[in-house]
Amino acid sequence: MACKANSADSPFVVQVNEDTQASFGAEFSITPHSTMDTAAYSVVYAITRWPGNAPTDCSVGRSKVGLSTAPSNNWLSIPSTSSPGETKPSEYTSRLNTNTGLDAESCTLDYAAQVTAKMMHNGAVVGEVSCYINVVVGNVNEAPSILTNSIGDRAVDETKLPGFAIGNVLQATDAEVNAGLQQLTWKIKTCFPFTFSRSGAGAWDTVNMMPNCHIKLSSCSGQLAVASILNYETYTKYKIEIDGKRRECSCCCVYVCD
């Protein structure tokens, strides 16, 4: 087989990104003796030691040799051949396949398995070779999901001094943050004030005030606060766009009370 290593101490390493539900990794193949590379012979690929349960089981089937029997919710498979119409054993290839999306944040360890290629002659096994596989689950950095019920409009009195907290903190969920792999950071991306008009026909400014917005946002806690002295007679409200690490949302209006 085309294994870069065939021992449990030095396994063949292959990566599959979390949430993948398809074939992955390089093709497996064998190089038979020229006398065996005929239509009388064929090759069957099979998984002979399996990885543990997926996607959240971190304790079982993670040894360097895998499990002797497939778990009830086995997620790894390998077709016997990638091109059924081929006749020569040297042309029989196959790849690992998963129909289950794994979870890199829930389980940071690697899976172990074993792939075996059997040489068949008239339906009988005449030889086989096995390869130990280390399956690394690659992390995909999912965008955070900002909780919409935390970004509603809020109000602040114009007499409040800089640093005064405006409403509750913004909230979001993030797989990497929950697993302790990253920290969620917040920032104000755009800030457009609404120009006061005693006639009631005020208008939104078209120039982004950032980085000098009169409203600020704590990058760690997600708390909106007064950044500088407010003046109701100049601006009555601010329309703010928030960026929570990679996910943007058109956030609340902050109303200035007279």
Note the pLDDT tens digit of each residue in 3-32. Answer: 666 777 788 888 888 888 899 988 888 888
Q: What is the pLDDT of residue 246?
A: 53
Q: pTM to 2 decimals?
A: 0.62
Q: What is the pLDDT of residue 250?
A: 53
Residue 190 pLDDT level (bands cut at 50, 70, 90): very high
Neighbour tally for 83: CB within 10 Å: 11
CATH of domain 145-257: 2.60.40.60
Q: What is the pLDDT of residue 83?
A: 45
In this structure, CATH architecture of domain 12-138: Sandwich (2.60)
Fold matches, 12-138 and 145-257: yes
Q: What is the pLDDT of residue 160?
A: 93
Q: Does the structure show a pLDDT above 80 at 44?
A: yes
Mean pLDDT is highest, among 23-32, 154-163, 197-206, 237-246, for: 154-163
User: Which position has the higher pLDDT, 45 or 220?
Assistant: 45
Q: What is the pLDDT of residue 48?
A: 94
Cα–Cα distance for residue pair 111/99, rounded to 1 Å? 16
Please give the average per-residue pLDDT across 106-124, as a whole number: 85
Please give the average per-residue pLDDT across 158-171, as a whole number: 91
Q: What is the pLDDT of residue 212?
A: 94
Write down the domain spans for the chain: 12-138, 145-257
Give residue-wise pLDDT tens across range 211-251. Answer: 999 999 998 888 999 999 999 888 999 999 887 665 555 56
